[in-house]
Structure 1
Amino acid sequence: MAAPASRPPDLAPATAPRRRAGRPSLRSFLLRPFLLPFTLLLGVGVAVTVGVHRNEDQLRLVSDAQTRMLLLNDLNTQLSVMENGERGYVITGDPDFLAPYREGDAAFRAAVFALHDLSVTDLQRTNLARVQSLVLRWQEDAARPEIAARSDSLAQAAKLVQQGKGRDLLNDARDIMSVMRTNESGRLSAATTASQSTLATVRTLTVGGLLLSLALLLLTAYRVTRTVTHSLNDLNAGATDIAAGQYQRRMPVMPVRELAQLGEQFDIMAAAVQEREQALRESAEALRASNTHLERSNRELEQFAYVASHDLQEPLRTIGSYTELLARRYQGQLDERADQYIAFTTSATQRMKTLIQDLLAYSRVRNAPRATQPVDTAALVRDITADLEQQILSAQAQVTAHGLPVILSNPELMRHVLQNLIGNALKFRDPTRPALVQVSAERTRHAGQDRWVFHVQDNGIGIAPEYHERIFGVFQRLHGMDEYPGSGIGLAVTRSAAEQLGGQLWLDSEPGQGSTFHLALPVVTTPDLPEPTPPQEKHA
């Protein structure tokens, strides 16, 4: 189909230096053009960082100035509160007016202390000290004497007020605070203007630098991508030709060292693919023949097992019948060893009969039709417990069922599964306690799919974890025939039936703790399926 390679793979190393000579590496080819834009971006970043730090300093100055302005306003307010409280007491003589006076005095002192800590100039601290001194003089020379005089008489207090000494002191203090506010307002305005100027400079540098960097980046990216895209298109065209079977195709010379190496590898691969493609065709043909042979062998083996099991029943019935006749007619007439031989033959015949029937059941399950219909699993369990009534009575067992739904499934295969699981639960019971078997179901969601999970739980002898998979094999037994009868094929039939139903079968068990077998079946939606029937029990 494909043309042979024109150059063997072992010639590639000799031509490699010629094709890669003088080629820059891909890293150098991609990064070198971006050096200038990235340097510019770095410069913009440094400038923005410096501007941001400077703006932070300006904003801190603005914040301090605003705080000092608030404290100056608070000083003026508390001074008015103190004056109004003192005047109110002098006029009314009501001691309640002294409370605002004392509170204003405390707040005034706190504001003076805070403002002193935030002061930035010696003049501001000097003015603050002058204000504090004037207010203290007002308290000592006017407020306190007037308050003391008012406690004696209103006329004496009014005489002191008329002298106007206290008013002059407070007016002087207010004038100084007005000057302080004016100065602080100037500092606030200067800090705000400086901050705005810094922000404008940072904004200009950022926008201009980013635009210039972006333009350089776009230009550089365009040139780099154009070169790389052209080279990759050449490689892609060559790879497409090789994929189409043109193994004589050779890659063009690439401008980048790594791409040149890739082209060389494509050339080497072209020759190798041709050989492997031929080998793959031969292997695929052999595999198809093997699969066809295997499928035919499996069908013949299943057919042989079914026919052989079916045909063996007739001679086995004959052997069993004649052995039973010998036992009835000559029991006690021959020696003890002859009776023992007859008993062994009868027992072996019965075991062989059971084995053949199990093989037939296994073959039927493997080839069972996939037809489905609504199956009332609760009614099915009642039928099974009725069939197993003798075994339930002899085991003094209790079988309960609840929450069992009506599902769309194959009734024969469902019977195989549930009857085998319930029968095993009765067979492998713990002799030290009454057997309890519980059958239940729940609707769950697993891997995005709804499914019904049936549980058959018992309190029997249990199964060690290392045997949880082994017991599902054909003819696998964990106990001798003298302990528990059976052919060892029942659970293999059960799992095969579960798989035919499109489900899964597994168990949880520990020795001495009983076993729980789980059957998971996909939910098949169909209209008007009845609801699950109420729970039922079967007692010994």
Structure 2
Amino acid sequence: RVQDLLRSGRRADLADRFRALMTADVLDRVRAQIVSFQTEERRLDVMRVSAAEAARAQQETLVMTAVIGSILLVALSVWVFTRGVRGRLDTLSDNANRLAANEPLAPLTAGNDEIAELDLTLHQISQRLIEAERLRLGFQADLARRADQLARINETLRQQTQENEMFIHGVSHDLRAPLVNLQGFSRELDHACDDLRERIASSSLAPEARERIERTIDEDIGEALRYLQTAVLRASHIIDALLRLARVGRVEYQRQRVSVQELVQRVIDAMHGSIRARGAQVNVHPLPDVWGDPTALEQVFANLIGNALNYLDPARDGRVEIGTASAPPGVESLQIFYVRDNGLGIPEVGLPRLFQAFQRMHGNVVPGEGIGLALVRRVVERHGGRVWVESAEGEGTTFYLSLPDALAAAPPLPGDAEQIISALERAERPEGPTGGFAGGLGGSSSSDGAGGAGAKGGVRSDRRAAPATGLRPPAGA
């Protein structure tokens, strides 16, 4: 065999064997087999190519089918998703437009995604707006009711004020006539007494009788006439005070920017003689401008400074200070001024009725009717402010008053007084003794420190910033 010969290495025998077989018949058979093999191989190649092409065509068909199916599936999914989301977004947009137009919203969108949460938020906002509108209408109705009540009350007050003024004028007129008569009769009686003295002096009466009659005229009748004239004068002053109080409410203020610095300086210049006579030291800090009637405000400061001078303690050097304090939160449109003295002070029992008319704490010190502070309060309140006092008997007194700041865009009106007073009452005040000069004048106002010394009866205007750490400057700085 050929394989055995090849394994045994007998190549020569193998070659001889092939040469022996190399006959024409054998070659024909071999050639026929080779041709048959090649034919079969080509047939198989054709079959394999056909099968491969068929497989490729089938694969392409499957791929195309899968691609088209996927595209259709994705398109269907997108259509379904877009249809659902777009519808919900349209509902959401419609609800937003309804909310902006203050109209009822469509029902809630189903689901638990962000769109549903946003739609729920819109519905909650709508409910809150409905509730807010309900409250607004309620408040509006309440405000209208209160405005109507206020208008009726104001009209009632106006009528009562007018009636009171008419009553005061009527009473003043009715009282003044008999007072004038009494004053005239007292003068006539005084003249009659003088004439009687002359007649007695020229008469022939005994010296003892003449002396007894003259003593009766001088002591009994003269004293009675003096009491009568004093009472008439006192009653006349009270009537004049009532008329001044009535006029304060009727005067129409000419509101404008007022320089308090210049106003206070004018007041002090007018009181220069009184200041020098009392040997007082008056210190004036920088004072801001305010919005108000200059004439009325000058009367206010004149009254407060005049009281401070009138009620100084003669046992010690008198000091008067005019300055400003910082406004508490909520009343930044106001300027807080103070007038402080180290005078006699006010008894605690007298503080509650201090601003009432015809109330006097030290009636034996300075004559008057006791209406000055009542006028001050009325003027300040008509300016939309407030006046209050801190005092300790034997230490001194500090009057505070709030006035509209000239730099404020809209100065507070008298109708805002309740809110202003409430804010002032809530303001924190520094701890320490109430009122007076318990710890010194404070800050740059002391006349004992550098730059503050001055002769008695002098006036010092301090242009440095006044201490202001609350509703009153700190003491003993």
What TM-score do the two structures reach when normalised by structure 1?
Answer: 0.42
Work out which of the two has the higher radius of gyration on C-alpha atoms and give 1 or 2. 2
Structure that is richer in helix per residue: 1
What TM-score do the two structures reach when normalised by structure 2?
Answer: 0.47
Higher relative contact order (CA 8 A, sep 6+): 1
